[in-house]
């Protein structure tokens, strides 16, 4: 009996190892990507928040998003992919897409400099220095982008940088569908 107890650590390890093996196998075969999972928030309302505006310091709440289809883009100056993504966001903004920026776990003065140098595609940027909104959204890394419909419901989560290809293949079709649902949707 005593001897059997000594097998407990091994048993726990075997379970853990089997789990990791399955995860790794699925990553290898491409049908699971730990970085790209639909959000638990999908088809649920955008979490409520009240955070200071990065540029003015005034409080910004979810009310800003009410009544329109908008993107919520989580970014930071420490994230290399955000550098890649930024010019595309600027061109989206020029096409009239409304984007709320969430400056995630970042240094505000760096972020302000970034916007001044690279252009500001955001209707507003909130300063989520503590990462609380990111936590509510279930952010695991930056950049991440959420599509919010006019009722404030999360319709899409995309992890990784947005570009032309992602936009035409993933975001645009959904955007067309949401718009075809008509106002109030």
Partner 1 sequence: MIPELGHFALILALFLALSLTLLPALGVFRRSTLLMHSARPLAAGMMVMLSSAFALLAYAFLHNDFSVAIVAAQSNSELPWFYQFSAVWGGHEGSLLLWVWILSLWALAVALFSRQLPLDMVARVLAVMGAIAVGFLLFMLLTSNPFGRALPNPPLEGADLNPLLQDPGMVIHPPMLYMGYVGFSVAFAFAIAALWSGRLDVTWARWSRPWSIVAWLFLTIGITLGSWWAYSVLGWGGWWFWDPVENASFMPWLVGTALIHSLAVTDKRGVFKSWTVLLAIFAFSLSLLGTFLVRSGVLTSVHAFAADPTRGIFILAFLGIVIGSSLTLYALRAPTVLGSADYSWLSREVFLLLNNVLLLVAALSVLCGTLFPLVVDALGLGKYSVGPPYFNAVFVPLMAVLLAFLGVGPASVWKRSRGGELWRRLLPALIASVTVGLLLPVAYGGQFHAGVALTVCLATWVVLSSLVDLRGKLRNASSWRSGLGRLTPAYYGMLLAHIGLALSVAGVGLTSVYTEERDLRVAPGQQVELAGYGFLFAGTEPLRGPNYVAERGVVQVTRNGRPVAELHPEKRRYNARRDQVMTEAAIDAGFGRDIYVALGEPLGEGAWALRLHYKPFVRWIWLGGLLMAAGGALAAADKRYRLGRRRAQAAVAVVA
Binding site for partner 1 (CB under 8 A): 2-3, 6-7, 9-10, 13-14, 17, 19-28, 32, 34-35, 37-40, 78-80, 83, 105, 107-110, 112-113, 116, 129, 131, 134-135, 138-141
- Cβ distance to partner 1 smaller for residue 86 or 150: 86
CB 144 within 8 A of CB 70: no
CB 22 → partner 1: shortest distance, Å? Answer: 7
Q: List helix spans (H) across the chain.
A: 2-5, 8-29, 80-94, 108-118, 132-137, 164-166, 172-180
- Cβ distance to partner 1 smaller for residue 85 or 150: 85
CB 142 → partner 1: shortest distance, Å? Answer: 9
Residues 178 and 108: their CA atoms lie apart, in Å, by 34
Residues 9 and 161: their CA atoms lie apart, in Å, by 42
| Three-state DSSP class for residue 66 | coil
Cα of 163 vs its chain's centroid, Å: 15
CB 174 → partner 1: shortest distance, Å? Answer: 19
CB 66 → partner 1: shortest distance, Å? Answer: 25
CB 70 → partner 1: shortest distance, Å? Answer: 21
- Cβ distance to partner 1 smaller for residue 63 or 135: 135
124-128 vs 99-104, strand pairing mode: parallel
Cα of 28 vs its chain's centroid, Å: 24
- Cβ distance to partner 1 smaller for residue 91 or 113: 113
């Amino acid at each position: 009996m005593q001897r059997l107890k000594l097998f407990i650590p091994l048993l726990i390890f075997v379970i853990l190892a089997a789990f990791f093996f399955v995860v790794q196998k699925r990553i290898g075969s491409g049908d699971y990507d730990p970085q790209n999972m639909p959000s638990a928030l999908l088809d649920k309302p955008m979490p409520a928040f009240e955070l200071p505006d990065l540029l003015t310091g005034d409080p910004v709440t979810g009310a800003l998003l009410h009544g329109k289809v908008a993107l919520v883009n989580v970014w930071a100056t420490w994230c290399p992919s955000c550098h890649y993504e930024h010019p595309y966001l600027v061109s989206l903004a020029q096409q009239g897409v409304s984007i709320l920026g969430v400056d995630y776990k970042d240094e505000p003065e760096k972020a302000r400099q970034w916007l001044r140098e690279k252009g500001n595609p955001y209707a507003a940027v909130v300063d989520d220095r503590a990462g609380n909104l990111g936590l509510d959204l279930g952010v695991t890394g930056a950049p991440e982008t959420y599509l919010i419909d006019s009722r404030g419901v999360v319709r899409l989560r995309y992890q990784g940088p947005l570009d032309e290809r992602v936009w035409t293949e993933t975001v645009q079709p959904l955007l067309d569908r949401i718009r075809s649902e008509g106002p109030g949707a």
